[in-house]
């Protein structure tokens, strides 16, 4: 490949072309950012509503009933080891 020299005018033209391209793309990216921010805000509000419903359900739920165990069999009382 040959070493090509780029003139100042060609560099300026390429720079202006890139700036125009980036400006065009940034408009679309700004719209996309606004859209995705709105979607994230909606999801956050849905989550908050769900958490509030869960808390209300926990508050209004009846207390759990204790488990009833069968009658315990009496065991022999434990004693300490006696020294010999």
Return the DSSP state at 22.
H
Q: What angle do CA 12, 13, 18 make, to 5 degrees?
A: 95
Query: For 8-34, how does the pLDDT look when each residue is reduced to its tens digit (9 = 90+)?
Result: 889 999 999 999 999 989 999 999 999
Query: For 29-83, how does the pLDDT look when each residue is reduced to its tens digit (9 = 90+)?
Result: 999 999 999 999 999 999 999 999 999 999 998 888 877 776 677 777 888 888 7
> So what's the pLDDT on residue 71?
65
Cα dihedral across residues 43, 49, 53, 58: positive or negative: positive
Q: Indicate if the pLDDT at residue 84 is higher than 80.
A: no
Q: Indicate if the pLDDT at residue 1 is higher than 60.
A: no
Return the DSSP state at 48.
H
Evaluate if pTM is beyond 0.85.
no
Question: What are the CA-CA distances from residue 8 to residues 1, 12, 78 (Å)?
Answer: 21, 6, 100
> So what's the pLDDT on residue 3?
54
């Amino acid at each position: 490949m040959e070493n090509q020299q780029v003139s100042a005018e060609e560099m300026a033209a390429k720079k202006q072309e890139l700036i125009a391209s980036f400006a065009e793309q940034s408009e679309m990216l700004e719209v996309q950012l606004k859209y995705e921010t709105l979607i994230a805000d909606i999801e956050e509000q849905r989550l908050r509503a769900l958490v509030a419903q869960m808390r209300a359900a926990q508050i209004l739920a009846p207390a759990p009933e204790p488990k009833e165990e069968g009658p315990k069999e009496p065991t022999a009382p434990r004693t300490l080891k006696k020294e010999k």
